[in-house]
Structure 1
Amino acid sequence: MTEALLVLALLAVAAQVQKKREQQQRVQLLGRCLQPYQIEQQMETLIDGYLRWLGEAEAGRAAQIRGMLASTEQALAAQFERFAADVAKIAAPQAQVSKLPLWMPWAQQLLPRRRLFDVREAFAIHARGIAEVAANARGLSGKAQARQMMAELLLMQHTCHWFCRSRAVADARLVLRHQTSWQQALDAASPATARDYRALLAGY
């Protein structure tokens, strides 16, 4: 009995060490892909700007804010397209992400394919969604476009956290930072993004 407990304890320690190693590798990998771009800063600029614009009562000032945001939308869409192309070069094992709520060490080796999704495909979906909303291909009103872009950005940020940490951590950060659940963000994103993302996570 003592030997069995010792073995279990050693396995638990090994799993924890491996978890930290894998997460650190993913944080560094994503950081290298993001490093050439200003995606995080542009995302913050847009979300803060949308909130100011939606709350601005003076029409002239609101129009000025919206004009500045439009150029940031276009810049972000262009940069994110290039970022997604960089992510597409990641090797297959590193690109696989567990659909389980909590981080599982050695998930790529141990889990069946249906329990994993490819983050390269996820970021390609986000790139298309951000570009579509930035171009306002569906002819949305200004406010509807802003809300849809915010949903696209929050969903993309959730994917980053899921890739680096876990689904549970990504869910918690989205709620704590933006008072929005993953399901709310997905429902508010463009129809194409919601459809493709649900297909990617089929069986979750």
Structure 2
Amino acid sequence: MNIALILLMIVVAWRVLCLRYQRTHIALLGRHLAGFQLERHMETLTQGYTRAIHEKAETRQIQVLETFAQTERTVAAQVQSLADAMQKESAQAASIGSLPFCVPYAELFLPNLTRDFRELLRIHAIGLRHVVDNEDSLDIKNRAYHLSAELYLLQHSCHWFCKSRGVADTRLALRHQVTHQKVLESVSATTRSAYLRWLGDANER
């Protein structure tokens, strides 16, 4: 058997393992999301904020943004409920790889390359509530800007858990035309500091 064929077989086997592993994460997160309408509400907000930004009159921008108050509170509450529900999962089931690519079952063989997705969801829940409650006393447009970034970062984390860090980066760029670094710079200081501690721990373990 030549080397090229052996390498091809290894690549195929690796891909199969990755897909199987990723399906377990997708199913786990999907099971917890099933009781919420979180994705629909997040889409309503991100699209609504974009629409408000394109309104020519500032008064009209503010009017549009004010219509999302209830949806914002709902999203914050549902993200908190999601974070609470995920605490019931084991650390092994809720592991997330720190490398840019998928390493199937790293939590079993390379635990130093994984982190806890449950902790990350808690960071998102606290950060979203911080911005929704406007604890930094932002004006309505800046508040919407920061809240958009909070939602983008949450989406990134969910894609990271389901697929990989690299896939999450790509989806963020394709869907929202923004980089992970830019989103991180745009969230609240509360979210950013907690996230960087979590990320730093992931990189240093």
Q: Same fold (TM over 0.5)?
A: yes
- Structure 1 window deviating more from structure 2 (6-15 vs 92-101): it is 6-15
Aligned residue for 1:152, secondary structure, equals helix
Separation in structure 2 between the aligned mates of residue 79 and residue 57 of structure 1, nearest angstrom: 33
What corresponds to 2:89 in structure 1? 90
Structure 1 residues without counterparts, runs of 5 or longer: none
Separation in structure 2 between the aligned mates of residue 56 and residue 6 of structure 1, nearest angstrom: 58
Alignment of 1:1-204 (within 5 A): 2=1, 10-58=9-57, 61-113=60-112, 115-202=113-200, 204=203
Q: C-alpha deviations, 1:21-43, integer Å up to 9, x for none?
A: 11111111111111111111111
Aligned residue for 1:117, secondary structure, equals strand
TM-score, with length taken from structure 1? 0.92
Aligned residue for 1:97, secondary structure, equals strand
Query: Aligned pair count?
Result: 202
Query: 1:155: how far off?
Result: 0.3
Identity over aligned pairs, percent: 40
Structure 2 residues without counterparts, runs of 5 or longer: none
Q: C-alpha deviations, 1:33-72, integer Å up to 9, x for none?
A: 1111111111111111111112222455434322211111
Separation in structure 1 between the aligned mates of residue 197 and residue 120 of structure 2, nearest angstrom: 10
Q: Cα 1:122–1:151, aligned 2, differ >3 Å: closer, same or farther?
A: same
Separation in structure 2 between the aligned mates of residue 112 and residue 155 of structure 1, nearest angstrom: 24
Q: Cα 1:39–1:109, aligned 2, differ >3 Å: closer, same or farther?
A: same
Separation in structure 1 between the aligned mates of residue 171 and residue 77 of structure 2, nearest angstrom: 26
Query: 1:102: how far off?
Result: 0.6
